[in-house]
Amino acid sequence: MKQIVEELLKADIGTVLENEPLANHTTWKIGGPADIFIQPRDKYGLASAMKIVYKYKLPWRVIGKGSNLLVQDKGIRGIVFKLADGLDHLRFEDDVVHVGAGYSFIRLSVMAGKEGLTGLEFAGGIPGSVGGAVYMNAGAHGSELSRIFKSAEVLTETGELVEYLHEDMKFSYRHSILQETGGLVVSAVLQLAHGNRKEIADSMASFKDRRRATQPLQLPCAGSVFRNPLPDHAGRLIEAAGLKGYCIGDAQVSEKHANFIVNRGRATAQDVLMLIDYIQKEIAERYKVQLVPEVEVVGEG
């Protein structure tokens, strides 16, 4: 790894750290170290880094804001890219949005509303980055990113920048083609529509009030843990099973919203995984429903 780190540093791509604890970079505040942690200064630094990674055939993954992600306790072997400063540009062209993968998805919804553009109100309660939202086809309140997506600039595993159009992404519920083929979202182009500023603001305020009233925002969490088994809701089933407040270690089913698991201070990834498994078994036994996790589990346990 020493030779690789030296080559990355020589390429002057941005921040390069060894054995960086990923608990510092996830919303759950959980996760072991990354062998090599890279925060590129811009897309060109990212592309240069990817070419070095490809040269050495190293495994890699990307994180944005670290939401919707459970990093196991022994961490991640290989490379972890964090997209943040330098990949967080934002530009409006009439009703079209050009935005970097590192930009906050929540903040994007706020900025679009200030521009009088509608279509992103649903994003007001979704933590994470734009890149992660594209990768996961993030959604809420009956809408999802695929409805406004036009195109994305994607970095391939060989370090080439290519354009993906809507039809290339193969969007479905919480899914895009990138989950199968690899590739890293660098930026996205979204198609919004002109709307009434007051109506947009009222809608977003309503979602925000609902989020504050129902979600455990005061404790580290990763967003919804399970996909909704439509037409039902995972939170309703878990609450009906009497599991609100149930703990394994410092991982707890939120007393505010049953589809959230919170870190009460010292939760490990193993605590969370055991709690997820327990919930799945209880719901399957009681209601014959198999809950599917929405959070992505990565690394070594």
Is 157 noted as a catalytic residue in this protein? Answer: no
Is 266 noted as a catalytic residue in this protein? Answer: no
Tokens linked to 82: 């964090």
* Catalytic pick among 109, 146, 176, 224: 224
* Closest CA relative to residue 293, chosen from 208, 212, 228: 228
106 contacts 132 by C-beta, under 8 angstroms: no
Which residues make beta-bridge pairs with 71? 298
Q: Is the dihedral of CA 6, 8, 13, 18 positive or negative?
A: negative
75 contacts 31 by C-beta, under 8 angstroms: yes
Cis peptide before 220 (omega within 30 of 0): no
* Catalytic pick among 20, 144, 174, 203: 174
32 contacts 299 by C-beta, under 8 angstroms: yes
* Closest CA relative to residue 237, chosen from 274, 166, 288: 288
Is 174 noted as a catalytic residue in this protein? Answer: yes
* Closest CA relative to residue 72, chosen from 23, 118, 117: 23
List the catalytic residues: 174, 224, 294
